């Protein structure tokens, strides 16, 4: 007769998730693929460089959300607070002091990271719906501050007049958007490389451990809240850089950059692409914004219905997001030798 302990052990084995190191994934191949796809789009879609630039900057923002949700398990609808802070900080610095694109990115990342650390230390003691509501509140506060600080931000009219200097003093931001897109693509690829190094570092593995079993992390002497606050701050840096990148490439910052709808759209794009994979953020952003652009142009009155049907189809048939389908296809192409691939 099987003992209760043995039955419980077997039941636990049946529901235990597959270890991250055993899941099939594109690994480092995903980053070169993003770069090659981006360069191919530059040559194949020269008339849509403005859209492609927005996709690249938005993908970096969705990537920051993947860090906190996919690797830290932090449910948030206020990620736009750091994005908007970074965009406004970069724009204000460019208009008043220094318009070098790299300085703008650094200032935006620093501003986003500081806001994330300050707010994360206050709100990350909460969980579930309470935490979700607190993140929304943070976003609303940042948006209202930007609205009231009209002398610096332009208020509801937005911050305009941002004219970034040539990249490295050589490449001007032309009216055709070539420099803007290549600059945005380069920043996105660098962001993917840095994010992958972070999630595979001891710190990143500890954050994954907090997501899976915070009690075990506490038992071995770690502080789950400290790890989550640090991860939230790192993700804030990525979101701030994404906001600054938008300011560099568009030349204007509006209140919508810190609004709740932008946070909600980012979450939809992340779920669409697949959480906890990094490059899933890129896939989801490209798919959502590309389909949105095509459908809105072809049917401006009913495009949202088609977007909804598309999202329902992805959730039903690819619950892990589009990236999960890419992983399955990659596993089939690699065959048995690819079973030992790693995630992220």
User: Which DSSP symbol is given to 18?
Assistant: P
User: Does pLDDT of 18 surpass 60?
Assistant: no
Averaged pLDDT, 146-164: 88
User: Does pLDDT of 2 surpass 60?
Assistant: no
| Phi-psi sector, 177: left (phi>0), alpha (psi -120 to 50), beta | left
d(CA 210, CA 216): 8
Using DSSP, how many helices (H) and how many strands (E) does the chain show?
Answer: 15, 0
Other CB atoms closer than 10 Å to residue 82's CB: what's the count?
Answer: 39
Assess contact for 67 and 238: CB atoms under 8 A.
yes
- Interacting residues of 12 by C-beta distance below 8 A, sequence separation 6+: none
What are the backbone angles phi and psi of residue 253, rounded to the nearest 5°? -130, 130
Confidence of residue 344 (pLDDT cuts 50, 70, 90): low
As a whole number, the mean pLDDT across the chain is 84
Block residue for tokens 């589009």 = 322
**pTM assigned to the model:** 0.86
User: Does pLDDT of 69 surpass 90?
Assistant: yes
Whole-number pLDDT of residue 286: 93
Whole-number pLDDT of residue 222: 80
What are the C-alpha distances in Å from 311 to residues 32, 66, 73, 229, 240? 27, 18, 22, 31, 28
3-state SS string for 135-171: HHHHHHHHHHHHHHCHHHHCHHHCECCCCCCCECCCE
Block residue for tokens 């490059």 = 279
HSE (side-chain half, CA atoms, 13 Å) at 7: 4
For 193-237, what is each residue's pLDDT tens digit? 999 999 999 999 999 988 888 888 888 878 888 999 999 999 999
Averaged pLDDT, 305-325: 81
CB environment 164-185: b (16+ within 10 A), e (fewer): bbebeeeeebeeebbbbbbbbb
User: Does pLDDT of 39 surpass 60?
Assistant: yes
Assess contact for 83 and 243: CB atoms under 8 A.
yes
Whole-number pLDDT of residue 240: 96
């Amino acid at each position: 007769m099987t003992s209760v302990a043995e039955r419980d052990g077997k039941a636990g084995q049946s529901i235990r998730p597959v270890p991250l190191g055993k899941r099939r994934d594109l690994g480092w191949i995903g980053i070169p693929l993003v770069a090659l796809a981006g360069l191919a789009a530059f040559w194949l879609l020269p008339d849509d460089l403005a859209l492609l630039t927005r996709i690249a900057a938005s993908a970096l923002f969705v990537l920051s959300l993947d860090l906190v949700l996919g690797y830290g398990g932090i449910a948030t609808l206020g990620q736009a607070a750091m994005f908007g802070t970074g965009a406004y900080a970069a724009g204000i610095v460019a208009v008043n002091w220094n318009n070098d694109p790299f300085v703008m990115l650094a200032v935006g990342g620093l501003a986003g990271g500081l806001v994330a650390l300050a707010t994360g230390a206050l709100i990350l003691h909460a969980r579930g719906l309470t935490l979700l509501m607190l993140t929304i509140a943070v976003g609303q506060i940042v948006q209202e501050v930007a609205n009231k600080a009209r002398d610096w931000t332009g208020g509801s009219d937005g911050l305009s007049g941002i004219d970034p200097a040539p990249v490295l003093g050589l490449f001007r931001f032309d009216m055709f958007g070539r420099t803007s897109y290549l600059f945005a693509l380069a920043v996105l690829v660098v962001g993917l490389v840095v994010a992958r190094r972070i999630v595979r570092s001891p710190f990143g593995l500890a954050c994954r451990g907090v997501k899976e079993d915070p009690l075990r992390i506490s038992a071995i002497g770690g502080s789950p809240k400290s790890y989550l606050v640090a991860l939230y701050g790192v993700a804030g840096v990525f979101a701030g850089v994404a906001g600054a990148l938008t300011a560099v490439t568009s030349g204007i910052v509006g209140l919508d950059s810190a609004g709740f709808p932008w946070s909600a759209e980012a979450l939809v794009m992340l779920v669409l692409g697949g959480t906890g994979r990094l490059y899933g953020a890129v896939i989801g952003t490209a798919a959502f914004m590309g389909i949105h652009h095509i459908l809105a142009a072809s049917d401006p009155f009913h495009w949202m219905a088609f977007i909804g049907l598309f999202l329902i189809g992805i959730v039903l048939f690819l619950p892990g997001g589009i990236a999960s389908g890419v992983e399955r296809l990659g596993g089939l192409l690699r065959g048995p030798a690819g079973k030992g691939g790693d995630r992220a």
